[in-house]
Every structure is written in C-alpha cells, then in structure tokens.
Structure 1
Amino acid sequence: MNEVTEAMHGFAEWYGRQPIGVWSAPGRVNLIGEHTDYNDGFVFPFAIDQRTAVALGDRDDRVIRVASGFAPDAVEIHLEELAPDAISGWSAYPLGVAWALGELGADLEHVRGVDLYVASSVPVGAGLSSSAAIESAVALALDEHWGLGFDRPTLAKVGQLAENRVVGAPTGIMDQSASLLGEADGGVFLDCRSLDADVIPLGFTADGLSLLVIDTKVEHAHASGGYAARRASCEAGARAMGVESLRDVRHDDLGRAAELLDDETFRRVRHVVTEDQRVLDTVRTLREQGPGAIGPFLDASHVSMRDDFEISVPELDLAVATAQAHGAIGARMTGGGFGGSAIALMIDDLVPVVTREVLAAFAERGYREPSVFVVHPSQGARRDA
C-alpha cells in the first residue's frame, strides 16, 4: 500500500467517511550545500520518491483535527487557539502550517475546520526531511482547500516558519523548497538570499548512475543543541567579519577571517564559504560535463563537514569511506548532521556491491544495521486524489 492509499484508508478508519482529497509531498536528498541555506547561500537538493500524503475532509465548525498512523491519538484545536505555544509533539508540523498560513497573510477568520490524516514513507530521523514533506503536503492541501492562492515559494516560507517558530528548529528554507519545487530528474538550485530557483537536469538515469542513500539509523533532532550551535557560530562569524551573512564572505577573505576569528569559528566560516563554492562548481560541472564528473565536490564536502563544521559521526564517516573504497564516484553525509544519512553516487552495477560492503563494514564495527536504498529525483508536492 503506498502512502496515498494509506492516507485514504486511514482517514476513512479514523473519521468514518471518505476524504475529499489527498495531497502528497516528497522528502529530499541534499546533493550538496549543507548549512549554507541559513547563511543566505546556495543549495542543490532534489525531491525523492519517498513521500508523505495528507488526506483532507471538510468540517462544519472551526476545529482542525489531525491523526496519523505513527501516533496513537488524534489532536484537535480550534482555529482561534492556534499559536506556537499551544501546539506540541508531532502535530506541531501540520498544525504549525495552519498557523503559519495566517501569519503570512491568509484570512483564516472565514474558513471552516478540517480533518487531516497523515501517512508517510519518508524515513524519520534519516536526514531526508520527513518534516518538510509533512509541512509541504499540508500547506498545499490547505492552500487549495481554503482557496488561499499562495504560490509555491510562499508555501515554502510557510513550512519554514512553522518549523522555526512552532517546532522550534532553526532551519533554513531549503527542505521545503525542494519538496515543493522538485521535478523528475531535476535538482533544485536555490539561491537562499533571493529565493530564485532553477531546476537543473541531473541526468543520473541517462548516464547509468544511481544515488544510494545509507541511513545510519543514528537519529538526530534539529531542535536540539548541535544545529543551533552551528548556526550561532555562523552568525558570530558574520558579525565579526562585518557582513550581513556568510554569503558575503569570499574565498579571498578567509585569510582575514583566520586573523579575526577564534579557530573554531573560523573553521565553521570556512566550511560555509567553501561549501557555497562547491554548490556553484557542482551545478556548472553538471551542465558542462554531466553527473559523472561531480564526485570530487561531494567528497570534498564531506571532509569539510567532518573536519571544519564537525557535524559528522563515525557511522557516517564509515558509510562514506566504504562507498568510496568500492568505486563510488563521490560520497558525503547529507542533511543537518549528527546522524542521519550518507549518499553515494555510483554506476548502477555497483549498487549491490556497495550495499553489501556497507552492511558488512557496519556489522564488523558493531554498529546498528543501516538501511540502504536507491532514491530517484522525483516530482514535488502535488494533488493525488
């Protein structure tokens, strides 16, 4: 049963009637550009073929009720009571979106409540943005059902606002943008300052390449300290350099940064500055030479995250090194770090080899068995039924 069918069945079981529609949105893999988004930099994610679906039914009152297959109870709240401090737990994602729509200009005084049921095939805690998939599916569903008329870049802002203010995770806008703007075989090249987005053909299938995800099963939580501490370091570095954000620091400025900043802050800054350049280099190389030539940028990105930004963990390092040792074109950890997943780009024939070797390497170290699977660049959020 796929997530759309599961959402329809779950809705009928919970609410005793059929939904009037089902919307879905994908998780994402960030091909390159980590921790650059909240520094006004560049990112290059793509939507994947694991999705979250939201079934919606109308109500004749002003209550929003949400249920899902991954929580024992439904949560409900009156539209007038929606506020960041009134929402908690998993329901903060869908209910936070409803609140954020109002904050960004939707007139919620004249809309009726809804019943929602959420079903998902996006792995939670894997760094594949299961949270943005929920937010984007709910945002698209409510926008259409309530006739709000928001465009997709605005809906991405809605999801980010919900994540920042209601969930309490200080994330940038990359994940929601990938989920809402993604296209089949395309990566979303996003300028996080201007929010200009170009979909760049990836060409993996045409070149006989697969992107393997290695979910280490080391769970992370972005609302906790490591992510927030990295963001604070970046903001401190920008202040010391006298710029609005690290987007404005050039590679040539790193010598001055080394003199101005303590060692840790300097390394945080160096990661962001060099990672921005790697995104630009990856997009240029894709256009000029194709996906088989981007491996060195993926490899260098991982080294930078491991050594300068210090967000990798031994399991991620092992996954990357094992993939590289067995023929991957390039490999890196992906997502916010402190756990989650690594990605490896390789020719199709190597997928079973690398999968086998990664599983063996994790077993030999006594690590928890990872989940290893291929993802395909896929269409963004849509209405399914």
Structure 2
Amino acid sequence: MHEAFAARFGAEPDGVWSAPGRVNLIGEHTDYNGGLALPFGIDRRTRIAVRQRDDDRIRIATDFADEARSAPVDASLATAHAATGWSRYVLGAAHVLRRELDVAGSGFEALVASDVPVGVGVSSSAALESATIVALDELWGLGLDRREMVRLGQLVENEVVDAPTGTLDQSAVLLAQRDHAVLLDFRAGTAEQVPLGFEAAGLETLVIDSLVRHDHATGGYGERRRECEQAAAIAGVRTLRELAPDEVASWAGRMPAHVHRRMRHIVTDTERARLAAELVRQGRPREIGPLLTEGHASQRDDFENSVPAIDAAVEAALAAGALGARMTGGGFGGAAIALVDESAAARIAVEAADAVVSAGHARPVVFAVRADDGARRDA
C-alpha cells in the first residue's frame, strides 16, 4: 500500500495496519444477552495506511472510491455521524478515541484498502474501525489493551453508526489468533483461545454470500434486541444468559409467542456455542456440524432473522455434502457458512451455488476462509 498511499498523498505512510473480517461459528445475537459465542478472524483483511500530519486535519481515501474525505481531528460526533459509508468508521474511531481518552490526537492521512466483503455478515465494519483504532493507538501513543479497544469499537458502532450491536464483532477481530476460535463469554467478560484443528482434520469453511445486503443500523436487528430485553424483563432476569435450557419451556404462554421464541434461540444458541467449543477442545471438530445446522434452524424459526436466499444456501450446502451449515452474522441478509471436507470444497461450492439459482435466487458468491490473526501492524 506504500506506493498507492504515496501516489494519493505525496509521501510515504508511517505504517500499514490491518484487521480481519470474522466468521461466527455459533452463538448469534448472544453478545448483548450475556451469552456465549465462538467466532474466528478470517484471512480477508482491511488495511489502512496512515501518516500523521503537522496540522489538525484528517484526510482519508480508499481504493474502492474516487473521492477523498476531510474533517478536523476535533470533529464532533455530529460530523462523524453525518459522514457516509466507510468514512464514518475512520472519523468515528478518531472521535471516540479523543473523547473517551481525553487526548488531543494529531491530524492524519489514511488510505483504506479491503478484501473483506461489505454487508455479507463477516464484519467489514468492525475490521475497518479496529484497524483504525490499532493504527491510532500506536501513532498517538495511547497504550490501549485489546479489551479497551473492543469497548471503543462498540461505541463507534452504537453512537456514530447507530447500530445497536454488542461486542462480538470487535472481540473477534481484535482478539483472533491463527487456527483458533475465540470463545467469548459476554457475562463473565472473558475470551478463551480455542484451537480449531480444522486444517489437521482436513476441514474448510465456506462462506456463501447470498448477495442480500443488510444494515444493522436499520431494520430488524434493533427490533430483535428489544424483544430479547422484553423476554428478560418478563422472566425477571437481567439477561437471558441467566436462564438454563430446561427452563425455557416453562415460559411458553407467559409472554407473547414470538418473544418466547426469541428467548429460546438465545438460550439454546449459547448452549450450542458451549458444546461446539468443548468438541474442538477435544480434537473433534468434525462433530460440530450438526450444531451449526441446528443453529440455523433456530435462527430461521425462532429468531426469524434469516431470509429465503440464505435458507436455500444452507439446504443446498447440506445436500451437497456439508457437515453442517448455517447463517452467520446478525442476519436479515448476508451469508451462510458451511463446514466441509477440504477435498470436497470446490465441488460443494459449485453444487450449492447451482442449487440456489435453481431455487430462484441470485447466484451466490462462494469463497473459502481460514482462521487468521487479529488486528496488527503489517508494515
């Protein structure tokens, strides 16, 4: 990126930092409910080349759009909020760091490049804000630890982008390690590195992009969060994590039926995340496939955040021989993942895509991912 940065800004950057997208194996919408999730960083990354300036201006550009953006380093929340698209995450990260840490911060120039697909459910937004935070942490001499970076990244999403997300995405992107998943316990505030062993077991993860785009700042995400809060309030618990799987049935008929279904998904998906982590710890990664498939049925029927194109992708992958498949990410569009034998990955990718088209949907984009390291300095 050094040459591209120099061509755009007329000087070499001070460095290049990057952060991965993420795939969530299991545990969806559990973060803001105090539950468990098991994500991993993927080998598709967002990179940001940055050079500090001598004045108080921020100038940012990207390799996927012609226009550059500019703002003062002391831009208000309203200024960051009013920015559009990718620039909100860079300006928002700078604003949140200055405000929360009470630091002046210098102006800077930044060039963004990414091969993390946008709107697919693999956390392109968390990758960009996390890469920015890691870069500014070093350049501004902030000395942040990764858990504090997670909190700051969530503030960017919640306050600048108006997306009512928890901390799953930022945790995965900032804490990931190669060939590991991160077992996140959102009640305890812990993150455990769990060796996946996919490569040794001859397994691969396919991402099946439905091409149905989502936006967590609008639509059903916030509605589902409110429904989960309603379920917890009726059950008299602070979060749904406090309920055991065998308690869920007793609440049927004591709250609206759709709210009870939301409760059931959260409680059972937390249990699936626990079981999946235990299986991979024991060196039995092939056995998590049915848990993924059960998780998809729970999202489709109980949480109702899937869409027909993703349902078709899951069914097609399973019919083609996947060990398990489910929608990944917040839902209402995005992608499915499929756990497959590496030797059959290419065939399953083609057969699944063909079947989705035959079901009347757009042809999905299918690509393999591997568990990669979290946010870092690259150069």
* Alpha-carbon contact 1:32-1:43 (below 8 Å) kept: yes
* Alpha-carbon contact 1:85-1:166 (below 8 Å) kept: no
Which residue in 2 is equivalent to 1:191? Answer: 185
Match of 2:45 among 29, 40, 51: 51
Say whether 1:241 aligns with 2:232.
no
Q: Hey, what's the Cα distance between the residues in 2 that align with 1:29 and 1:80? A: 34
Say whether 1:151 aligns with 2:129.
no
**Aligned to 1:118, what secondary structure does the other structure show?**
strand
Question: What are the superposed Cα offsets for residues 91-136 of structure 1, whole Å, 9 maximum, x if unpaired?
Answer: 11111111121343x2322x32111111100001111100000011
Which residue in 2 is equivalent to 1:89? Answer: 84
TM-score after normalising by structure 2: 0.97
Say whether 1:101 aligns with 2:94.
no
- Comparing 44-53 with 344-353, which one deviates more in the overlay? 344-353
* Alpha-carbon contact 1:84-1:165 (below 8 Å) kept: no
Which residue in 1 is equivalent to 2:277? Answer: 283
- Comparing 65-74 with 132-141, which one deviates more in the overlay? 65-74
Q: Hey, what's the Cα distance between the residues in 2 that align with 1:335 and 1:55? A: 28
Q: Hey, what's the Cα distance between the residues in 2 that align with 1:102 and 1:248? A: 36
**Aligned to 1:180, what secondary structure does the other structure show?**
helix
What displacement does 1:362 show? 2.3
* Alpha-carbon contact 1:82-1:95 (below 8 Å) kept: no
What displacement does 1:174 show? 0.8
Structure 2: stretches of 5+ with no match in the other structure: none
Which residue in 1 is equivalent to 2:58? Answer: 64
**Aligned to 2:282, what secondary structure does the other structure show?**
helix
Q: Hey, what's the Cα distance between the residues in 1 that align with 2:40 and 2:353? A: 26
Task: Call closer, same or farther: CA 1:260–1:194 in 2, change over 3 Å.
Answer: same
Match of 1:206 among 178, 183, 200: 200
Q: Which amino acid aligns with 2:200?
A: A
Q: Hey, what's the Cα distance between the residues in 2 that align with 1:206 and 1:154? A: 34
Say whether 1:164 aligns with 2:158.
yes
What displacement does 1:71 show? 2.9
**Aligned to 1:311, what secondary structure does the other structure show?**
coil
Say whether 1:381 aligns with 2:375.
yes
Which residue in 1 is equivalent to 2:215? Answer: 221
Q: Hey, what's the Cα distance between the residues in 2 that align with 1:311 and 1:150? A: 35
Which residue in 2 is equivalent to 1:231? Answer: 225
Which residue in 1 is equivalent to 2:67? Answer: 73
Q: Which amino acid aligns with 1:117?
A: L
Q: Hey, what's the Cα distance between the residues in 2 that align with 1:30 and 1:283? A: 12
Identity across aligned pairs (percent)?
Answer: 49
TM-score after normalising by structure 1: 0.95
Q: Hey, what's the Cα distance between the residues in 2 that align with 1:274 and 1:84? A: 39
**Aligned to 1:76, what secondary structure does the other structure show?**
strand
* Alpha-carbon contact 1:30-1:44 (below 8 Å) kept: yes
Which residue in 1 is equivalent to 2:9? Answer: 15
Q: Which amino acid aligns with 1:302?
A: H
Q: Which amino acid aligns with 1:341?
A: A
Question: What are the superposed Cα offsets for residues 221-266 of structure 1, whole Å, 9 maximum, x if unpaired?
Answer: 1111211110110011111111111111222321332132110000
Q: Which amino acid aligns with 1:16?
A: G
Match of 1:250 among 220, 224, 244: 244
Say whether 1:131 aligns with 2:125.
yes
Say whether 1:315 aligns with 2:309.
yes
What displacement does 1:69 show? 1.9
Q: Which amino acid aligns with 2:16?
A: V
What displacement does 1:289 show? 4.4
Q: Hey, what's the Cα distance between the residues in 2 that align with 1:42 and 1:295? A: 18
Q: Which amino acid aligns with 1:112?
A: S
**Aligned to 2:306, what secondary structure does the other structure show?**
coil
Which residue in 2 is equivalent to 1:360? Answer: 354
Q: Which amino acid aligns with 2:84?
A: G
Q: Which amino acid aligns with 2:372?
A: S
What displacement does 1:287 show? 1.6
Task: Call closer, same or farther: CA 1:181–1:226 in 2, change over 3 Å.
Answer: same
Say whether 1:25 aligns with 2:13.
no
Question: What are the superposed Cα offsets for residues 44-93 of structure 1, whole Å, 9 maximum, x if unpaired?
Answer: 10000000000001111112221112333222221222314543212111
* Alpha-carbon contact 2:80-2:92 (below 8 Å) kept: no
Q: Hey, what's the Cα distance between the residues in 1 that align with 2:80 and 2:373? A: 34
Q: Which amino acid aligns with 1:150?
A: L
Q: Which amino acid aligns with 1:24?
A: S
Q: Which amino acid aligns with 1:271?
A: H
* Alpha-carbon contact 1:58-1:112 (below 8 Å) kept: yes
**Aligned to 1:306, what secondary structure does the other structure show?**
helix
Structure 1: stretches of 5+ with no match in the other structure: none
Q: Hey, what's the Cα distance between the residues in 1 that align with 2:246 and 2:363? A: 43
Q: Hey, what's the Cα distance between the residues in 1 that align with 2:74 and 2:93? A: 14
Q: Hey, what's the Cα distance between the residues in 2 that align with 1:328 and 1:299? A: 10
**Aligned to 1:89, what secondary structure does the other structure show?**
coil
Q: Hey, what's the Cα distance between the residues in 2 that align with 1:47 and 1:340? A: 17
- Comparing 238-247 with 19-28, which one deviates more in the overlay? 238-247
